[in-house]
């Protein structure tokens, strides 16, 4: 009965709203379920530490798409946001792809609605469309080649110089890529609500307090942050930089979930999260409200009942697959 009722409200709530007994060992239960069902748990660096610690694989958007393309598991549980699970499903039509909470969306993906984007593309028929992976399947189907923050430069450089380019949906990453590649791209007006929020004043105050610290930033951040950064890179790029740099202190301008992995790979370094303008989190750090919808309880329920499942209609899947496969080939 509880299950029937929970299934009825699944789309509205995003997850199966069934009470999880307080006395069960969630990690042990999840381990048992993933073994029984041949499931793999893929997690993004922005997930809470306890989810990263139980995942079979933790990575950035590109590494997760590559892991999803390779897995032999029957079930992929994606501890991330909707577009990531959707990409995994596009690559694996025969597998079950679970997302612990269907409302784990993405402001960037939402900033490119299908109809508006289709009309924009029609106005510029001679342009090659490059889209960030943070988009819906509908946008990927209208895209020539997908990219992520770790391969965007390479993807842009792979396009013949005489071709005009539309870059969507992140205008900050797009503007950064124009500077890096020298290409004159037409930018869609979208942004990540988390990376756009970093406070220049607060970061400058932190830099004054920690003069030796390196400021490192994700390219989804605004140009006034990127202009003063010592290093700009994807989440995996930032992680590698912290691990390999001789510096001891870092101010990190990306979602704070990455600090967990950074502390694991570079335990002796001082990691300071960059603060957003309006700090509603009380951690003086940036938190993605969508990534943070996932919990161990929701992962347990998703594996147990094999819901919520992410599905993509077959004709759309085939169209979207083309632009993802082009990216994977080049990566
Ligand atoms: P990467 O994982 O490519 O660094 O992207 C960060 C992000 O915002 C994912 O939503
Ligand atoms: Fe989307 Fe930004 Fe959250 Fe990444 S951090 S999932 S880009 S809203």
pLDDT of res. 2: 87
Q: Does residue 224 sit in the same domain as residue 301?
A: no
Centroid of ligand 2 to alpha carbon of 33 (angstroms): 29
Is pLDDT of 11 > 90? Answer: yes
Q: Which residue has the tokens 């960059």?
A: 274
Residues in the chain: 331
Q: Does residue 140 sit in the same domain as residue 208?
A: no
80 near 43, Cβ under 8 Å? yes
Coil, helix or strand at residue 331: coil
By C-alpha distance, which of 59, 98, 93 is closest to 82? 98
Q: Any bridge partners for residue 231, and if so which?
A: 216
Q: Does residue 60 sit in the same domain as residue 147?
A: no
Residue 289 in tokens: 């409200």
Q: Which of 135, 167, 192 is the last residue of a domain?
A: 192
CA nearest ligand 2 atom 1, residue:
106
Backbone angles phi, psi at 308, to 5 degrees: -75, 145
pLDDT of res. 281: 65
Rg (CA), the chain: 20
Centroid of ligand 1 to alpha carbon of 290 (angstroms): 12
How far apart are the C-alpha atoms of 53 and 34, rounded to whole Å? 15
Checking phi first, is residue 282 left (phi over 0); if not, alpha (psi -120 to 50) or beta? left
Q: Any bridge partners for residue 96, and if so which?
A: 75
Q: Name the residue of 78, 170, 174, 193 to mutate for ligand 2: max ligand atoms within 8 A of Cβ.
A: 193
Centroid of ligand 2 to alpha carbon of 245 (angstroms): 26
pLDDT for 40-49, tens place per residue?
999 999 999 9
Q: Which of 160, 192, 224 is the last residue of a domain?
A: 192
Is pLDDT of 1 > 80? Answer: no
Is pLDDT of 279 > 90? Answer: no
Residue 323 included in any domain: no
Residue 285 per-residue DSSP state: S
Question: Where residue 282 falls among pLDDT bands split at 50, 70, 90?
Answer: confident
Q: Which residue has the tokens 């792809």?
A: 97
How far apart are the C-alpha atoms of 220 and 244, rounded to whole Å? 23
Is pLDDT of 37 > 80? Answer: yes
Atom of ligand 2 nearest to the CA of 46: 5
What is the CATH number for 13? 3.40.50.10800
Q: Does residue 19 sit in the same domain as residue 98?
A: yes
Atom of ligand 2 nearest to the CA of 195: 2
Q: Does residue 244 sit in the same domain as residue 306?
A: no
Q: Does residue 112 sit in the same domain as residue 181?
A: yes
Q: Does residue 32 sit in the same domain as residue 55?
A: yes
Torsion of CA 80, 85, 86, 88, to 10 degrees: 130
Backbone angles phi, psi at 256, to 5 degrees: -70, -15
Centroid of ligand 2 to alpha carbon of 257 (angstroms): 12
89 near 317, Cβ under 8 Å? yes
Residue 53 domain boundaries: 3-104+291-312
Q: Which residue has the tokens 């993933």?
A: 34
CA nearest ligand 2 atom 3, residue:
288
Centroid of ligand 2 to alpha carbon of 251 (angstroms): 19
Residue 100 included in any domain: yes
CA nearest ligand 1 atom 9, residue:
61
- Which residues approach ligand 1 with their CB closer than 6 A? 60-61, 134, 148-150, 192, 220, 234-235
Is pLDDT of 280 > 80? Answer: no
Q: How far apart are the first and last CA of the chain?
A: 47
Q: Does residue 7 sit in the same domain as residue 100?
A: yes
- Which residues approach ligand 2 with their CB closer than 6 A? 81, 106-108, 134, 192-195, 255, 288, 290-291
Q: Which of 139, 168, 192 is the last residue of a domain?
A: 192
Centroid of ligand 2 to alpha carbon of 59 (angstroms): 14
Mean pLDDT of the chain, nearest integer = 97
Give the count of domains, the chain.
Answer: 3
């Amino acid at each position: 009965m509880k299950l029937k009722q929970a299934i009825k409200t699944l789309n509205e709530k995003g997850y199966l709203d069934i009470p999880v007994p307080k006395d069960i060992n969630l990690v042990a239960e999840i381990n048992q379920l993933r073994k029984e069902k041949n499931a793999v748990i893929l997690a993004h660096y922005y997930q809470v530490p306890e989810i990263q610690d139980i995942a079979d694989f933790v990575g950035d958007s590109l590494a997760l798409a590559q892991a999803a393309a390779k897995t032999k598991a029957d079930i992929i549980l994606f501890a991330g946001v909707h577009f990531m699970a959707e990409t995994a499903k596009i690559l694996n039509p025969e597998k079950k792809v679970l997302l612990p909470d269907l409302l784990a969306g993405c402001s960037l993906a939402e900033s490119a609605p299908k109809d508006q984007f289709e009309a924009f593309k029609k106005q510029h028929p001679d342009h090659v469309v490059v889209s960030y992976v943070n988009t819906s399947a509908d946008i990927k189907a209208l895209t020539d080649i997908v990219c992520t923050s770790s391969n965007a430069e390479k993807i842009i450089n792979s396009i013949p110089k005489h071709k005009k380019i539309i870059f969507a949906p992140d205008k900050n990453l797009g503007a950064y890529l124009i500077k890096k590649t020298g290409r004159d791209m037409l930018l869609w007006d979208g942004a990540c609500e988390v990376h756009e929020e970093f406070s220049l004043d607060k970061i400058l105050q932190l830099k004054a307090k920690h003069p030796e610290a390196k400021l490192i930033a994700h390219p989804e951040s605004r140009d006034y942050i990127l202009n003063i950064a010592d290093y700009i890179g994807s989440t995996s790029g930032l992680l590698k930089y912290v691990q390999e740099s001789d510096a001891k202190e870092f101010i990190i301008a990306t979602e704070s979930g990455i600090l967990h992995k950074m502390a694991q790979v570079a335990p002796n370094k001082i990691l300071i999260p960059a603060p957003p303008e309006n700090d509603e989190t009380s951690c003086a750090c940036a938190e993605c409200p969508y990534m943070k919808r996932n919990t161990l309880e929701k992962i347990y329920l998703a594996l147990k009942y094999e819901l919520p499942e992410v599905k993509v209609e077959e004709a759309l899947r085939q169209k979207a697959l083309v632009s993802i496969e082009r990216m994977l080939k080049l990566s």
